[in-house]
Structure formats: structure tokens, C-alpha cells
Chain A
Amino acid sequence: MTTLSIDHVSRWFGNVVAVNDITMTIGPGVTGLLGPNGAGKSTLINMMGGFLAPSTGTVTLDGQPVWRNEAIYKHIGIVPEREAMYDFLTGREFVVANAELHGLGAKAAQKALATVEMEYAQDRKIQTYSKGMRQRVKMASALVHDPSLLLLDEPFNGMDPRQRMQLMDLLRRMGDEGRTVLFSSHILEEVEQLAWHIEVVVAGRHAASGDFRKIRRLMTDRPHRYLVRSSDDRALAAALIADPSTAGIEVDLAEGALRIQAVDFGRFTALLPRVARDHGIRLLTVSPSDESLESVFSYLVAA
């Protein structure tokens, strides 16, 4: 059982507050740290990893302080967001070096490389690697000492869908094995697909915490707005308003479009194409007008 405790942690840089009085406990399983860019996720992860001192508050791993405590790294594996990683080494040399720094040998390195399925490219220089390959080698270097806590800063950034799925499988497996896995992301779907538990951070504050169903409900139960253009706006509006999933429709003459407010997200998204087809109406534009992450987060914060 490895538990990471963040207790009333704040961090400011000059007079900019990056993290504002956050308290959370991260236990075994996969936890997603969700928040828009610049929300303070990296600052928080840096404090969790012992690379940044909290201005106030404490970060502890099973009661041990993380800051200025080198011995703690026997239990922590870190996958940083930054790209730089001794590019002049081959993947294997890099992971072996990481193993040696933990007092382990080439065998541990080889096992970690196998876990991330990078054996096929292990003898190539890291500078020739794609983003996804780098990410996997970083992952191998973090796993080499079999840590009980794994911290990953934006691990899916720049990965293609296949690489993303592989890494998700791997992290899921780590969580199933009872490790404490925390990853940050600004992409809702990533977090939702992978995390058992979600911590939401917005503008340095802890905005929400819970399992993904609860967060999802907060997200989907809010009114959604859509901008729709079609071959016959008024006929479409009349057909849609009859359904309880739609709360209001405005005909925007200036835009030549409908502004629709839906209250039941799931139902509305199924309804719209069906209604259009049944009435022989062509849909020209369907775009969520407030789906930007910021609006989702601001909604969450207000909730």
C-alpha cells in the first residue's frame, strides 16, 4: 500500500500562485490529474516528485517527506514531460544507466525494456526515436526498479492512437498490480478512459475529486450548447423541441443557424441525426459552442 499525501500544499513563484492550498490523497490504482494547460498540474507533480519545495504544506509518501529525501526514490518512478534524455545514448544504454543508478543491473533494464515493448529498437540512438518511442523508454527507465508509486506528467502528449492505447494498457496493468499510478492530462477522454479516480485542478485550485462516473455526471448533466446549420432550420427546430432532451432553441438569423441548448447530452446526440434523417433535412454544421475545456472546467468549478 503506497499512499501519497498532499496536505495543504501551496506554491507560488514571486507573486504568482501556481498551486493554491491543495489537499489530496493518492492511493493505489490509477489516478488522473485533470486540468487545463497552466492549471498547476506540472507544479503539483514536481512537488509530488520532490523536485520543487512547497511554499507551504507538506507532501509525504507513506509518512516520509518527499522533498530533500533521496532515499524516497527507491519507491518512486518518474516519467517527466520534458523530452531531453541523454539523446547520445541508445535506448538500452539509457535504461541500463538508470538501472545502475538504482544499484541494479542489466537484467532489470532488459525486463523494463520488455515491459514497454522497446526491445526491437533498444540499440538505436535515442535521438532517432519518435515521440512515442521516447515516451516508452522514459517509462522503462521509471519502471526499472519496480517502484510502488509512478508519476507521469502528460504521458500521452504527442503519441499516436496506437501508442496511446499501448501505454494505457500498461498503466492499467500497473494499477491492477496494486501500484499507485498518477498521471496528468488536459484531455478529458484520456483521463476518463484510464483513471479509476480523478482529481481536477483548475487555476491552481483543487476543483473536484472522485471517481470518473461522478465527474462525468457533473460534465454531462450540465446544459450543452450547439450551433447547428441545416437545409431547413425551422423544420429541424420544430422537430427537436418536441423531445425533452432539448431545453431551448434560438433561430439566429444573423448567423443563419440554430442555437440549441440540450439538457440530456447522451440523448440529444442520438436524437439529432435521427430527426434530421426522418425529416429529410441535411445537417450542414453541428458544432458544440461551449465545449472548450475551459468552459467544462469552469462549470466544474462552479458545481
Chain B
Amino acid sequence: MYDPTVARLTYRALLGRRRALILSALPLLLIAISVVVRGLAGADDQTASDLLGGLALATMVPIIGVIAGTGAIGPEIDDGSVVYLLSKPLKRPTIIFTKLIVAVAVTMVFSALPTLIAGFILNGNGQQIAVAYTVAALVSSIAYAAVFLLLGTVSRHAVVFGLVYALVWEALFGSLVPGARTLSVQQWSLAVAHKVAGGDIVTSDVGLTTATVLLVVVTVLATWYAGQKLRTLTLAGEE
């Protein structure tokens, strides 16, 4: 199910110089803001939770997910170099699963790790807030990577669609329309964070069971479907 060569090619493409810079920008911004906030306002649990929930989980994680998820396969399909993977006796689901693992790992490193660091800077993990949001970032990294990997497989405009989903649906629409929140990776991961933190400082609109089921279902379905799409991927060429 996992091919180390596909993984190596994907890592190197994802962490190429320019993309690595883009991937590092938001985490660095988060950490910088945390340092400033801590310096100006001191350690405050509510502020820490607001910043980690609003900036890290609602914005940074999905954007990193978009870059890593779509970037794990989209550019290869766009420029046609995916032909070197497809012209091999490799099961298509193996290619997708391997790329998912890489996308998940990259998303986790560039979103969950900075979330943890920012959390410790903000309030030294008081009320388990840093750990809770880090767990949420880890969990949502998996679902985002899977969804955006699928998007990168089926659409040439994956990055645009991904950003629209991440920013409009998750951030804007979700905060206005209550129903939209139930169908939000962010809310599902918050349900997990709520469980970790205990208390009421981290809240979610979705129950833990529902959230877990939806996270698993979305991840599995997206990965399976991306594998199916790759089996019948048409290389149109330049004609």
C-alpha cells in the first residue's frame, strides 16, 4: 500500500525551495503573533484559545492542508510528469495512499507542531489548551490532506477550490450558518480537542462520536475515490 519511491518523489516535490517557504510562512506568523500577544497581554487562557482556534485551527491548518494535499499530486498531473508514476506496474490506490501519508505528515509538521509551540508560548499549556489544539490540528491534518489530495486529483483548479473551502466555508460560512458547522472538518477536530481539554474553554458544535465517524468516513471516502479517479486519469497531452 505504501511505496517509498513515490513517497520520496512527493516529499522532494512538496518541500522544494519555493513551496517550503510558503509552507513556513503561516507557522512563523502564528509563532510571531503568539510572542507579541504573550508579551503585550501576558498569559491568558481565553486569549490563547481564541488565537489557536481562530488563527491556527480555522485558518492555518486548512491552508497548509490545501498546499500539501493538492501539492502532493496536482502539479504532477498538471505538467504531465505523473506519467512516470502511471506507466509503472503500481496499483493506483498505492500511489494515492502513499501521497496521502506524505501530505498528512507535511500538514502535521507545518501546522500541528507550530500550534503546539504557539500554545506553550501563549499560556504554557494551561488547561491543556496547547495540547488540545495540537491534537485537533493533527486530526484535521489527516482529513484535510485526504480531501485536498482528492481535489488535486480531480481538478486543475484544486488550490482555488481548496482555499474557497478553507476560507469561505470553514471560516465565514461556518460562523454564519449553524448547519454548515456540522459539515466542517474544523468543528469535528474541535470536538476531539474539547475531549482532550475538558472544561468549556474549547467547544465544538458537533458531538465526539459524530465527529469521529465523519472524520473517518470523509478520509476513507476521499482516499478511495482519489484512487479510483487516478485509475482512469486521462492524460490529454498538448493537442
Contact A51 B86 (CB under 8 A): yes
Contact A70 B91 (CB under 8 A): yes
Contact B88 A73 (CB under 8 A): yes
A42, CB-defined interface residue at 8 Å: yes
Contact with A along B204-239 (1 / 0, CB 8 A): 000000000000000000000000000111111111
8 new A-B contacts, CB < 8 A, other than A46-B234, A81-B238, A101-B6, are A49-B87, A51-B86, A82-B79, A84-B81, A86-B81, A88-B12, A98-B84, A101-B84
Which partner residue on chain B sits nearest A69 by CB separation? Answer: B89
- Give A18 to B83 CA distance when docked, in angstroms: 21
Query: From residue B226, how far is it (CB to closest CB) to chain A in Å?
Result: 16
User: Which of B9, B88, B92, B234 makes the CB contact (< 8 A) with A51?
Assistant: B234
User: How many residue-residue contacts, CB under 8 A, span A and B?
Assistant: 86
Contact A73 B87 (CB under 8 A): yes
Query: From residue B7, how far is it (CB to closest CB) to chain A in Å?
Result: 11
Give the residues in chain B near A153, CB-CB below 8 Å: 237
B90, CB-defined interface residue at 8 Å: yes
User: Which of B9, B86, B237 makes the CB contact (< 8 A) with A82?
Assistant: B237
- Give A97 to B98 CA distance when docked, in angstroms: 15
User: Which of A43, A68, A102 makes the CB contact (< 8 A) with B231?
Assistant: A68
Query: From residue A142, how far is it (CB to closest CB) to chain B in Å?
Result: 8
B33, CB-defined interface residue at 8 Å: no
Contact with A along B65-92 (1 / 0, CB 8 A): 0000000000000011101111111111
Q: Which of A83-103 contact B (CB under 8 A)?
A: 84-86, 88-89, 97-98, 100-103
User: Which of A49, A72, A86 makes the CB contact (< 8 A) with B84?
Assistant: A86
Give the residues in chain A near B5, CB-CB below 8 Å: 97, 100-101
Give the residues in chain B near A141, CB-CB below 8 Å: 84
Q: Which of B82-116 contact A (CB under 8 A)?
A: 83-92
B196, CB-defined interface residue at 8 Å: no
Q: Which of A277-299 contact B (CB under 8 A)?
A: none
Which partner residue on chain A sits nearest B75 by CB separation? Answer: A84
Give the residues in chain A near B87, CB-CB below 8 Å: 49-51, 73, 76-78
Query: From residue A4, how far is it (CB to closest CB) to chain B in Å?
Result: 15
Closest 6 CB pairs of A and B: A84-B79, A82-B80, A100-B5, A101-B88, A84-B81, A51-B235
At the interface, is chain B mostly helix, strand, loop or mixed?
loop
Q: Which of B6, B80, B88 gathers the greatest number of chain A CB atoms within 10 Å?
A: B88
B157, CB-defined interface residue at 8 Å: no
Contacts A86-B9, A97-B8 given; does A80 touch B239 at CB 8 Å: no
Contacts A42-B237, A73-B88 given; does A86 touch B83 at CB 8 Å: no
List residues of chain B with CB under 8 Å of any chain A CB.
Answer: 3-6, 8-9, 12-13, 16, 79-81, 83-92, 231-239
Contact A84 B239 (CB under 8 A): no
- A-B contacts, 15 listed (Cβ < 8 Å): A38-B239, A42-B239, A43-B239, A46-B234, A46-B237, A51-B234, A52-B234, A77-B87, A78-B87, A82-B80, A82-B81, A82-B237, A101-B3, A101-B85, A141-B84
Give the residues in chain A near B237, CB-CB below 8 Å: 42-43, 46, 81-82, 153
Query: From residue B146, how far is it (CB to closest CB) to chain A in Å?
Result: 22
Give the residues in chain B near A70, CB-CB below 8 Å: 88-92
Q: Which of B92, B236, B237 gathers the greatest number of chain A CB atoms within 10 Å?
A: B237
User: Which of A38, A81, A102 makes the CB contact (< 8 A) with B89?
Assistant: A102
Contact A84 B80 (CB under 8 A): yes
Which partner residue on chain B sits nearest A99 by CB separation? Answer: B5
- Give A216 to B4 CA distance when docked, in angstroms: 50
Contacts A73-B88, A86-B81, A88-B16 given; does A52 touch B235 at CB 8 Å: yes
Query: From residue B81, how far is it (CB to closest CB) to chain A in Å?
Result: 4
A152, CB-defined interface residue at 8 Å: no
- Give A84 to B84 CA distance when docked, in angstroms: 10
Which partner residue on chain A sits nearest B12 by CB separation? Answer: A88
- Give A98 to B9 CA distance when docked, in angstroms: 10
Give the residues in chain B near A85, CB-CB below 8 Å: 81, 84
Which partner residue on chain B sits nearest A96 by CB separation? Answer: B5
A71, CB-defined interface residue at 8 Å: yes
Give the residues in chain B near A43, CB-CB below 8 Å: 237, 239
